[in-house]
Structure 1
Amino acid sequence: MNLAERVKTLTPSSTLAITAKAKALKAEGHDVIGLGAGEPDFNTPGYILDDAKQAMDAGLTKYTPSGGIVELKQAISEKVKRDQNLSYDNSQIIVTTGAKHALFTLFQVLLNQGDEVIIPTPYWVSYPEQVKLAGGVPVFVKAEETNAFKLTPTQLSEAITEQTKAVILNSPSNPTGTMYTEEELEALGQVCIEKDVLIVSDEIYEKLTYTEEKHVSIASLSEALYEQTVIINGVSKSHAMTGWRIGFALGNEQIIKAMTNMASHSTSNPTSIAQYAALSAYEHDDTEIEEMKKAFHERLEKLYQMITDIPGVSCVKPKGAFYLFPNVKEAAEANGFQTVDEWVEALLEEEKIALVPGSGFGSPDNVRLSYATSLDLLEEAAKRIKRFVEKHQ
C-alpha cells in the first residue's frame, strides 16, 4: 500500500527507539539502566489521584467541550495570572491531549505549504516532524554550546525570510536544560515584533528550575510580546502526570478558536477524568512539586560532577528540566568510534547503559541523560560510563 507522502519524511523518535531497545534487553534479563526517559519517576500526587477517583464516582466520564471544561480553563487562567502576571480569557485557552497535541494542532492551523518555522538546535525531537506534517519547512539555527545553547538575536534575524511564520523557544529546554534570561528574551522578542514572526513559547518545564534565576514567560514582558506569543504548557512534567495527557495553549483568540475547531474533528476532547485531575493539580499548592524539584536538584548536582569527571566529556550545566546534555565527541574519538551514535550503541551493548544520542536532537556530538531516576542508579550509571571510556582508551 502506498502511504501518504507527508509521513514518508518522518524520522522515528530517537528517545522512544532507545527506550524500546533498553526494554528489550531488560526483558532478556540484562541489568539495564535506562537514562532516556523524558518523564518524572515520581507518581502523580495522591490528592490528584483522589480527586480523579471522585470525578469518576460522580459520573464525570462523558464528552466535554472540545477546548476543555470551563473549570479547568479558569484554573489555568488563575495559574498564569499567579505565576506570570498574565491575563487570558477562556476564549484564549485550549486544553489539549498533552502539550505535544497543543503544538501539533497549532502548526496545523498556522502553517501553509512552504511556510518556515525557525527551530534552534539542539531541539526537542518532535518540533521538526510536526512542522513537516503541517506542510511547513523547519529552518534549523545552531545555538552554540559556547553560548549555553542559546539562540542570539543576530542569528534569529539572519534566519528570518519572507516565508518565516514562527520561531520556537523552549525555556527551560529539552534536551539541554538551558534557560533564557529576561534580557535575552526581550532581545529575541524585539526581533520577532519587528519582523512579525509568531513566537511559540514551550514552557512545559517552567516549574523545574534549579538556580536563583527564575523562569520568565516571554509573553509577560510587554503587551506587544503578549500579542505575538502562543504559550504551550501542561501538567505532565510539573505534576508527574505524563500519562494523563493534559496540556494547553494560550494566545490569540483567532488561533485558539481554530485549534479548538480542529480538535473537535480529531480528538473530540481531552479525557474527561484527566481534565479533572489537572484541575486538582492547579487547585492545590506546590508543596509536592517542590519536593520533587528538590530531589531533581540534588541528582543534578551529583550527576553533573560525576559525568564531567569522565575523560573527554564536557557539559554545559543545566538550569532547569531534568536532563544533562554532555558533549562526548572527544571521548568517542578517543575510544575509537567514528560517531557518537556508534559510541552510544556500544555503551548499551557492553555496559547496559541507555543514553539518547544527540543526533536525534540535531546535535551529533552530544548525548542526553535523564536524571529522572534514583540517585543510586545514576551513580551506578556514571561509574559504568567512566569504566567504558577508560577501558576503550
Structure 2
Amino acid sequence: MSSTYGTLFKISTFGESHGAGIGVIIDGCPAGLTFDTDFIQHDLDRRKPGQSRITTQRREADEFEVLSGVFEGVTQGTPIALVIRNTDQRSKDYGHIAQQFRPSHADYTYQAKYGTRDYRGGGRSSARETAARVAAGAVAKLLLQGQGVHIQAYVSQVGKLKLEKSYADMDLAVAEENAVRCPDPETAERMFALIDETRKKGDSIGGMVDCVITGVPAGWGEPVFDKLHAELGKAMLSINAVKGFEYGSGFAGAEQYGSEHNDEFYTDEAGQVRTKTNQSGGIQGGISNGETIYFRTAFKPVATIMQDQDSVDSAGNAVVVSGKGRHDPCVVPRAVPIVEAMAALVLADMWLRSRANK
C-alpha cells in the first residue's frame, strides 16, 4: 500500500480510523525551522470533526504529540514523527457492514485487492487519515512562509450553488469566519442552509474547493513527468472523495481560441517579467512563472447517507445497507485545510528540489 509522498520533503502517514491513532513521519525537513506547535494545532482544529451541525459529530480533539525530530522548539533535520490519538471511536456503529459492501465506498475494492478489510469506519480508506496530512502540511507551510509563499483555500461551490465572484474580488481570509468556509458571507449562509437541509433528509451533497497560492517565484517544477501542475493534481486527487482537478483556465480553456487564451508577457517597473492575464494559473510548461497559482478541486457527495441502499455482501448475496454512524453531509468545509496541506507538501518538495538543481 502506498502511504508515502514526496521526493526530498517526504511524508509517510500511518494509522486507521478506529485504531489507536494516526500519524505521520516527515523526512527531509531542513534543520533550524522554528516548530510552531500552535500553528500546527490551529490547522488541525480547522479540519477536526464536530465543528458545527453540518459536520460529523464525532468528537476528536486531534491534539498531536511530537515523538522525534524537534529539540527546544527547532527542527533537527532528522525525521519528525507526529501522532494523533483516536479518542472517540464507535466501532459498534459499523458491525452491520462487516460482511456488506457500502455503495461508492472502498469496501469492495479493498476486499478485492487485499483479501481483507477493516470495516470499522473504512480503516485506512477513511478520511480520518487526512488529519496526519494536515499536520505534515502545516510543517510544510511553516517552511514555505520563510520563502514568502501564502496558501489560501476556500469553498466556492456546494451542489449547484456557486460563488460567482473571482478570488481577486474578495478578502479570502473572511472564509474562516463562517462554518462553510466561503469568503462571501451571503453565499456562505445559503450554502449552510443547503447543507443543513441535505443533512435533515439523510442525504449528502458535493462541492468545490478553490485554492489560491501567492509568492511562488518563477522556476519551481520538475518537467517532464513531475510538472508542478501534475504534482498538484496528483496530490489533490489523492484526497478522499475528490473527483476532479483543474488549474488556471481549466476545462473552460478548451472553448477558447489561442488569441484569447495566451498570456502575453511584459516587463514591470521593477524589471520583472509578468503576464497581462493569467489563464495559465501561474504555471507554464510545468514550471511556476511567478504569477498567482490557482486551481479548483471537485468533491463528490459523501458516500454514507442515512438512507437504505441496495448492495451485495461478501458472498454476493443481495442486501440492503442501512446508513449508520456519524458522517459529514458535505465534506467541503472540512476539506479546505486538507487541500491547503497537500498544496503545501507539493510546494515544499518543489522548493527543495529547485534549490538542489542550482
Confirm or deny a common fold (TM above 0.5): no
Q: Which has the higher helix share?
A: 1
TM-score (norm 1): 0.24
TM-score (norm 2): 0.26
